[in-house]
Amino acid sequence: MIVDETGKKLSAMLVISLSIGYMKDHLMSLINKRCIGIDEDDIHWIITIPAIWEDSAKQFMREAAVNYGIKSDQLSFALEPEAASLYCHSVKVVLADGETPADNSTKRQGVVLDDEHIPQSIGLKRKELRRSKLGEKCMILDLGGGTADITVHERQMNDSLREIHEPSGGPWGGTAVDREFFTFLSKFFGRKVMENFKKKSMSNYVDFCRAFEIKKRTIDFESTRPVSLKFPATFKEACDESSNLFLNDALNKSQYSGKVLLVGDKMKIDAKIVKGFFEVPIQEIVNHVNKLLKKVGKIEMIMMVGGFSDCPLVDKAIRDNFPCIQILNPKDSVLAVLKGAVIFGHRPTAVESRIARYTYGYEIWPKFDPTIHPLNRKMSLGGNACCKEVFHPYIQKGSEVKCGDSVSSTHCPVNDTQKDLSINIYVSTEKDTKYITDPNVRHLRTIQLPLPVNKSGQSRKVKSRLYFGATEVMVETIEVATGTVHKATFDCL
């Protein structure tokens, strides 16, 4: 269950399924108006997701899409910073006359897809056109509404990309500024006023949020004029009913007296206060980039994409803090993920390798060795002394995994009457993990393996094969005796 702005609860699966379905139906309607002979079986759907999402979130999105009628084998996920990177690496950079590749003095650099058709409207002369170079390292800052999603890629042969640091980031997108703004309003109007406003006039509340969204995109470092916002009439009604205070009375009693003015139905906020709403998310982004640079070393370029990267304050902060790195903020940065997702759909192996964010493994009970196993883990299994709950890794955190690479393990049933086999998969935040009960380990999912029918003299061993190099962890099982391949059940929820 998830809660809306007014506190009402609804199934998350229903909300997300209908949201995906709305976009799907809209596209199909548009296609039917403009095309002939296109149906759903001709389409492979791509859903873009943050790279920092857990496996359970990916499964949730897949189930939500399938619930609305999208076939699972016609659906893929593109990681948003990867999609943006694919797009940005495919375009050519147009530099202004007199600008050098490392010059960060301009607000942004234009980008074009075709050097034969440079838009005249961008006002740039054809000084230099180039794509990212072979071996060039680039950090992608995907700064969207909810999250800052960051990856580092290196350009390879055939325009493919190699991930050199696992995806990272946090809740430092544009909505972090919104939270600061509404916290600011709640300080002197009161939380009940804001809640009343939303409950009694949601449409006006949404319009008010959109008005602030427009204003926050125009604030830059040099802004000194107060930011003016118009309050709906219903807001004053909410204030009167909740606290019996008029707006000016509430304002004069707050810490913002003299810095915030109410003139008629408008609120004028000192520019310094509004800039303060940006400080926390911007500082978090800068600090995180600094940490990544210490790990990955020198990089040639930082690409900024996503709606929050359009904010002048964000743009300036990145340029000021990293003056020796070329900063590329494409003109159509808001669409970079969308366009990159289309590229990914046609070239799903364009990112040739990724870095494992976690250590994946499964539980084994090996022969007890008193020199390496603690005595309290000694158990008897089938008359043999074994060590219980040992974590056996498929792949370790920080390992480079190429697209299409797999890791295999062989499993045997405990007895002849067993019809299926369950393998518990665990994930660890540490590189070296010994036992599934360690504090850094959690159960991820269970694989259900169908076992071959018990026949005299025939092996019932089953081999599981996990693929880690794609945007999702995929699994299949093979009967050793017959070579029959099965798709295993994978459940993270």
Average pLDDT over residues 438-444: 90
Domain identity same for 49 and 193? no
pLDDT tops 70 at residue 243 = no
Whether the CA torsion 306, 307, 313, 315 is positive or negative: it is positive
Q: What is the pLDDT of residue 94?
A: 52
Among 51-60, 187-196, 448-457, the minimum mean pLDDT is found in: 448-457
Note the pLDDT tens digit of each residue in 340-393. 999 999 988 888 888 888 898 888 888 999 899 999 999 987 788 999 999 999
pLDDT at 114 over 50: no
Mark whether 386 and 439 lie in a shared domain.
Answer: yes
Report the pLDDT averaged over residues 329-345. Answer: 85
Identify whether residues 242 and 267 lie together within a single domain: yes
pLDDT value at 126 more than 70: no
Q: What is the pLDDT of residue 490?
A: 60
The boundaries of the domain holding residue 461 are 356-491
137 CB neighbour count, 10 Å cutoff: 18
**Can you tell me the distance from the alpha carbon of 438 to that of 389, in angstroms, rounded to the nearest whole number?**
10
Query: The domain spanning residue 95 has which CATH number?
Result: 3.30.420.40
Least confident of 231-240, 290-299, 377-386, 438-447: 231-240
User: Minimal CA–CA distance to 171: which of 78, 52, 58, 57?
Assistant: 52
Q: Which of 293, 317, 351 is the last residue of a domain?
A: 351
Task: Kindly list the distances between the CA atom of residue 67 and the CA atoms of 20, 369, 458, in Å, as whole numbers in the listed order.
Answer: 10, 49, 40
CA distances from 10 to 16, 59, 152, 392, 423 (A): 11, 19, 38, 40, 33
Question: What is the model's pLDDT at position 70?
Answer: 94
Per the model's pLDDT, the better-predicted residue between 444 and 278 turns out to be 278
Domain final position from 298, 326, 351 = 351
Q: What is the pLDDT of residue 476?
A: 78
Do 154 and 296 lie in a common domain? yes
Which ranges constitute the DSSP H helices of 161-201?
A: 174-189, 191-200
DSSP, res 112: E
Q: Which residues of 43-69 are buried (b: 16+ CB within 10 A; e: fewer)?
A: bebbbbbbbbbebeebbbbbebbeebe
Q: Rounded to the nearest 5 degrees, what angle is found at the Cα of 46, between the Cα atoms of 359 and 217?
A: 90
Domain identity same for 400 and 482: yes
Four-residue CA torsion sign, 70, 72, 73, 76: positive
Q: How far, in Å, CA of 466 to CA of 392, rounded?
A: 14
Token reading at 245: 């205070």
- 347, 427: one domain: no
Strand partners, 165: 152
For residue 136, report the phi and psi dihedrals to the nearest 5 degrees.
-75, 135
Q: Are 375 and 401 members of one domain?
A: yes
Is the pLDDT at 232 greater than 90? The verdict is no
Q: What CATH code is carried by the domain that includes residue 447? A: 2.60.34.10
Number of domains comprising the chain:
3
- Averaged pLDDT score across all residues of the chain: 81
Question: In the structure, what pLDDT confidence band is assigned to residue 220 with cuts at 50, 70 and 90?
Answer: confident
- In terms of domains, do 11 and 152 share one? yes
Other beta carbons within 10 angstroms of residue 111's beta carbon come to 21
Phi-psi bin for 456: left (phi > 0), alpha (psi -120 to 50), beta? beta
User: Is residue 70 classed as helix, strand or coil in its secondary structure?
Assistant: coil
Q: What is the pLDDT of residue 342?
A: 93
Lowest mean pLDDT among 123-132, 346-355, 403-412: 123-132
Least confidently predicted of 37-51, 92-106, 326-340: 92-106
In this prediction, residues 266-277 reach a mean pLDDT of 89
| Greater model confidence, 472 or 80 | 80
Burial environment of residue 185 by CB neighbours within 10 A (0 to 12, 13 to 18, 19 or more): buried
The amino acid present at 99, given as its one-letter code, is: E
Q: For strands 351-355 and 161-170, give the pairing.
A: parallel
Contact 20, 64 (CB under 8 A): yes
Q: How far apart are CA 387 and CA 410, in angstroms?
A: 18
Position 139 scores a pLDDT of 92
Calculate what percentage of the chain has a pLDDT beyond 90. 25
Q: What is the pLDDT of residue 121?
A: 37
pLDDT attached to residue 26: 93
pLDDT of residue 76: 92
pLDDT at 128: 37
Q: What own/partner pairs with CB < 8 Å and gap ≥ 24 does 256-262 have?
A: 256/184, 256/187, 256/188, 261/226
pLDDT per residue as tens digits for the range 81-108: 888 888 877 766 554 444 444 444 444 3
pLDDT for res 284:
95
The share of the chain scoring above pLDDT 70, in percent, equals: 86
Mean pLDDT over residues 118-137, rounded? Answer: 49
Same domain, 267 and 187: yes
Q: What φ, ψ does residue 311 adopt, rounded to 5°? A: -65, 125
Same domain, 381 and 311: no
- Phi, psi dihedrals of residue 2, rounded to the nearest 5°: -125, 155
In 8-156, which ranges are E strands?
A: 9-10, 45-49, 75-79, 92-94, 110-112, 129-130, 137-143, 148-155
49 and 137 together in one domain: yes
Q: What's the burial of 174, exposed, middle or buried (CB within 10 Å: 0-12/13-18/19+)? A: buried
> Rounded CA gap, 420 and 447, in Å?
10
How sure is the predictor about 120, in pLDDT bands with cuts at 50, 70 and 90? Answer: very low
Domain final residue, candidates 318, 333, 351: 351
In terms of domains, do 178 and 166 share one? no
Rounded to whole angstroms, the Cα distance separating 356 from 393 reads 12
pLDDT at 421: 77
- C-beta of residue 363 within 8 angstroms of C-beta of residue 424: yes
Strongest mean pLDDT among 6-10, 19-23, 31-35, 406-410 = 19-23
**Among 406, 386, 417, residue whose Cα is nearest residue 488:** 406
